Chain A
Amino acid sequence: MTSEFAPAAWSGEGARLRLAELADLADLSEAELLELVECGALTPDEGTPGQWVFGITSLTVARTARRLREDFELEPHGVALLLRLMDRIRRLEEELRELQARRPG
């Protein structure tokens, strides 16, 4: 049993991933990522096409895309649709949490 102190890559604002890196980490092709950006399921944090920079939220989305494609055997259109719905759900849950936090208990 090995015990190691792992250097944690700080998430959120810290991560800056190029398209190629994102493809590698998410195990998707660059073409697949481009398709996801095209249909709005994935949004670069900054940059112009060819110079895009992605954050860790994009990595989470991309990894989810990979999982959905594999586990549900979906083609890209289905994956993109699912991702958009999941993003909407996530934002609604966030809004709900905020409202519950602001409400006296």
Chain B
Amino acid sequence: MKFKDYYAILGVERGATADAIKEAYRKLARKYHPDVSKEANAEARFKEMAEAYATLKDPAKRAAYDQLGRHGSDEEFRPPPDWSTQFGGDSGAFDGMDFADLFAGLAGHPRGRGRQGSAPAMRGQDYEIAVPITIEESFGGTEVSLDLTTTEFDEQGAPRRVPRSVKARIPKGATDGQVLRLPGQGGKGFHGGRDGDVYLNISLRPHRLYRASGHDLFLDLPVTPWEAALGTDAAIPTPAGTVKLKVPAGTRGGQQLRLAGRGLPTPQGRAGDLHAIVQIVLPPELTERERGLLRDLAAASAFNPRRHLE
């Protein structure tokens, strides 16, 4: 397994006091905790420092860690044989273990010595996974395949990391920020403790055409000035297919035309709406004839849109 330098991770000296370690952890937690941090990779970094702190803040675990000696970060190593006898119970069987598991056995975790008597029931670990989906996938529902590495316990109570693949069905109409719970799919419980759950944090990927807000969708609808003035029929893409929309004569720029029920499905069996936001656009280049016609229109019109500014 790979060695982890917990002191370096927390940015403290090996001889640091408990208070110094606590202070170092708190400072880093403020910076990297996923609930309050916007730093890139906050979750992974926080997991690392939480693990370091959990070991170094407990005197027994810290002593055990110090006994491992100094090694380079990420250096391959094995705990010395006398270490496992003193701290680990079962010697030798370290394959498939994470570095953090070495210290788990020291404070009421199932991986303890048999003669400690009946271990308390331990619930399995919960897992949270970010699942980005497209608007189309939300519209029709979809299946995702998730790769997890969960913890299981063998007969001696030693933890093993087991890679698993879990398929989950995302129901229709899943919205951005929604949470889906997969009961019992997380880490295994021990001694009668219940299995952990998997939580899927759904997010909607940005879409070429649509913007989502809850179950509603928004789409920009460019029209020419003459279409806005005279009205027109427009073909509008929706997740269910193209629909015809009548743009009424006299439609203003910025006006929202609502297509009811053309958004994302709601759990009650209905659906949100699709809003087409009208944008009046000019041709990038005008022909001479077009320019001439527009000048005629300017001369013929008495409309002053800035009267109220005078």
Judging by beta carbons under 8 Å apart, are B254 and A2 in contact?
no
Q: Is A33 positioned at the interface, with any CB of B under 8 Å from its CB?
A: no
A8–B171 CB distance below 8 A:
yes
User: CA of A100 to CA of B168 in the docked complex: distance in angstroms?
Assistant: 31
Number of residue pairs A-B, CB distance < 8 angstroms = 101
In the complex, chain B residues 262-277 whose Cβ is within 8 Å of any chain A Cβ = 267-268, 275, 277
Given contacts A6-B168, A8-B170, A102-B277, contact A68 B180 (CB under 8 A): no
Q: Which residues of B contact A105 (CB under 8 A)?
A: 211, 220
- Residues from chain A with a CB closer than 8 A to the CB of B171 are 8, 10
Q: Which residues of B in the span 189-206 have a Cβ within 8 Å of any Cβ on A?
A: 194, 197-200
- Establish whether residues A101 and B211, one from each chain, have CB atoms under 8 Å apart when the complex forms: yes
CA distance A12 to B36 in the complex (A): 24
CA distance A60 to B179 in the complex (A): 8
Name the distance in Å between A63's Cβ and chain B's nearest Cβ: 8
State whether A102 touches B179 (Cβ < 8 A): no
B254 to A104, Cβ gap below 8 A?
A: yes
Taking A98-B213, A102-B275 as contacts, is the C-beta distance between A14 and B180 under 8 angstroms? no
Task: Report the Cα distance A5→B29, complex, angstroms.
Answer: 36
Query: CA A68 – CA B166 in complex, angstroms?
Result: 28
Contacts A9-B181, A15-B181, A71-B29; A101 near B218 (Cβ below 8 A)? yes
Query: How many B residues, CB 8 Å from partner?
Result: 47
Q: What is the CA–CA distance of A11 and B171 in the complex, to the nearest angstrom?
A: 9
Residues from 6 to 42 in A contacting B, C-beta threshold 8 Å: 6-15, 24-25, 27
List residues of chain A with CB under 8 Å of any chain B CB.
1-15, 24-25, 27, 56-57, 59-60, 63-64, 67-68, 71-73, 82, 86, 90, 94, 97-98, 100-102, 104-105
Binding site for A on B (CB under 8 A): 26, 29, 33, 35-36, 46, 50, 123, 126, 145, 163-171, 176-183, 185, 194, 197-200, 211-214, 216, 218, 220, 254, 256, 267-268, 275, 277, 279
Known: A7-B183, A72-B33, A82-B36; 19 extra A-B contacts, CB below 8 A, are A1-B163, A1-B165, A4-B164, A4-B165, A4-B167, A4-B185, A7-B182, A8-B182, A9-B182, A15-B181, A27-B123, A56-B179, A63-B126, A90-B177, A94-B177, A97-B176, A101-B216, A102-B218, A104-B279
